[in-house]
Structure 1
């Protein structure tokens, strides 16, 4: 497992598996600010993280937010939370009990390891 360099990361795009309710991979960037109302910005090159890495990092105290991009400007969205239903863990911006990942309306992309 890679070691995170920053305490806050922004997810800018997602790759869903064949079922469309489970994220396989995300595109993430380190964020320059973790202040709730501070300046937003992404500082790292894109990191492709699989869902297990994101879940692990969140459990270890790393914070993830959705980020939208307009040109070179990144705007922070919602905090990403883990929601456990039965033995499954989901990545969600809303902590409801719907079985499936939901990171809002982030762009999707095709990744190499879809399941």
Structure 2
């Protein structure tokens, strides 16, 4: 499990389906997947703001294991994870949260009507 940028509201869970062909993910792949998840939730698909209140569950990851070009492969895993999470967020009909601010305005008596 990994948390996004907002540790209280966004999480990634890994529960790959057990099968005879199932191979455990390497630490490098896990790190790349977590980094891709964090990148996707740091800048959401609607306005590029942080994503809140989302859980993502990784069910299956089929990554070819080879020893050559591992840095390139990890970058591809990160990028693919980020794109998959972003597309999933878009498919979930996301909503924008409207910020609400309370302000206090100090002014002279003649300007009070203009502020309201």
The answer to whether the superposition gives a TM-score over 0.5 is: no
Question: TM-score normalised to the size of structure 2?
Answer: 0.22
Question: TM-score normalised to the size of structure 1?
Answer: 0.22
**Of Structure 1 and Structure 2, which has the larger fraction of its residues in helix?**
2
